[in-house]
Structure formats: C-alpha cells, structure tokens
C-alpha cells in the first residue's frame, strides 16, 4: 500500500460499501488481466476526491465509499416522476468538480450515478484518470 493512501477505520462505519472487483465484469478482455491496476486507479481518484468533497460525487470514507441504494437507471424505471433537469444539473456539477481537480471520469452512465434521495451522486472511479493521462485497459461501459 502506498503510504499516502488513507487507511479504513476499524471498526467500519455502518453506512459504508466495500467494493470488491469481479472478473465477471471484464470477461475476456485485457482489463481482466490487471485488476490490481484498476483498484489502484480508483483509490488514486478517491484520494483526490476525499480531500475535495462535493455533494454530487460519492463521499469517500478512506478507501470505502458511502452506501447509496438506487442507481439513476433504477430511478428512471420507477413510475414516480422526478425533476430530470435538476438531476442533470447535479450530475454536471459533480463532473465539473472532478474536472476542476484535474480528474476525468471516463465511464459516466446511468449505472454509475447513484441517487441520494433526489440528489445524483457520481460513483465508480476505476476508469478515472488525471486529465491527459492514458486511459489504460479499462474505460467506459459497452454500448455507452
């Protein structure tokens, strides 16, 4: 572990999500050969975001992420209406914040946006890179 990485608290707070990589998400791609690099990419982005939090970007609790219960994809399938313009503005605010820190998400889609009530929250930083860095083996979601 890099000395600059933040250790998770012990015991873990109750509202945390432990993200575990799954080779099933990568199938037979070059990305499946280097899952450790994807974890490090996400941790590096999370460390930057932890120091500069924003309400429309997942709250970083060390290497743990706050738990959210519904993706934007799930919310859009519900019959109840919600303010889509407000939602889009929130996503834009979160992405602009990341860009102001020199980070590019590289995999923004409705499955990587969680809903905290009516507030959208950008998640999933395993494709996130500093502006100008090479994307690497993983980037984006098929069909997005």
Say how far apart CA 68 and CA 64 lie, in whole Å.
Answer: 12
Give SS3 for 49.
helix
- pLDDT of 140 strictly over 60: yes
Element (H, E) at 100: helix 84-100
Please, what is the average pLDDT of the chain?
81
Taking alpha carbons only, the member of 9, 30, 94, 27 closest to residue 56 is 94
Say how far apart CA 105 and CA 121 lie, in whole Å.
Answer: 13
pLDDT of 45 reads 84
Give the residue, 57 or 62, on which the prediction is more confident.
Answer: 57
Q: What is the DSSP letter of 57?
A: B
Architecture of 16-130 per CATH?
Orthogonal Bundle (1.10)
């Amino acid at each position: 572990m890099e000395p600059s990485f933040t250790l998770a608290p012990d015991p873990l707070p109750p509202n945390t999500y432990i993200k575990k990589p799954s080779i099933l998400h990568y199938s037979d791609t070059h990305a499946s050969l280097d899952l450790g690099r994807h974890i490090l990419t996400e941790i590096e982005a999370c460390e930057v975001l932890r120091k500069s939090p924003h309400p429309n970007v997942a709250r970083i609790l060390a290497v743990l992420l706050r738990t959210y219960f519904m993706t934007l994809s799930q919310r859009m399938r519900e019959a109840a209406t919600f303010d889509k313009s407000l939602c889009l503005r929130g996503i834009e605010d979160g992405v602009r914040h990341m860009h102001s820190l020199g980070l590019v998400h590289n995999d923004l889609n409705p499955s990587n946006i969680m809903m905290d009530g009516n507030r959208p929250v950008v998640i999933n930083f395993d494709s996130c890179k500093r502006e100008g860095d090479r994307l690497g083996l993983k980037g984006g979601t098929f069909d997005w």
